[in-house]
A and B are shown apart, each in its own frame.
Chain A
């Protein structure tokens, strides 16, 4: 299935992209996507991501933690946003 992945700030520097469409297996979870991106872009991706501190992840605009965290199951056409936290702390 195809999902869309959006990047801002630091992660845009790491990936070189503002957004991309990714083909991933049916029933894949968010952590599968993160693993895939980590493979594609290297260690830098995970260290800059620093979930909860530097970024939150939105699945179709909702905080992924509300949808089951990294175990959240992705669906065809989902839009995943890696959003930098723009506040101190």
Chain B
């Protein structure tokens, strides 16, 4: 005995199924994007003057779970590095670091006087008032890597630290 569905009813069922499938897929995508549990706040970049080749980006990072910051990218330049500044007596030293630990539930500050993101080989001036996107590549303790997009406001070169 057949179920007796008409062609129109079949089409409705197919549309409904497709919509449901699309909704499930969208939800899964949204969930996976939201799964990078590293939050960046107070992100800013120091402005430059014309022909200045490098500047720093600063922010606070807080992870839920143990993460590492592996690298970063930025549309302003191909050369983005994570650096650490150290003082030895009155001598300032800066070095690239291969990764930065982001321990669970701890605020890690990238700020003047310590860790920072270096934007190098700049081809254009970074102007105060711009918003710059920086994409952080983070790695969770299980080895899974994710991108975290940060919007950083460009502050005048002569601004003092907030």
Does chain A bind chain B? no
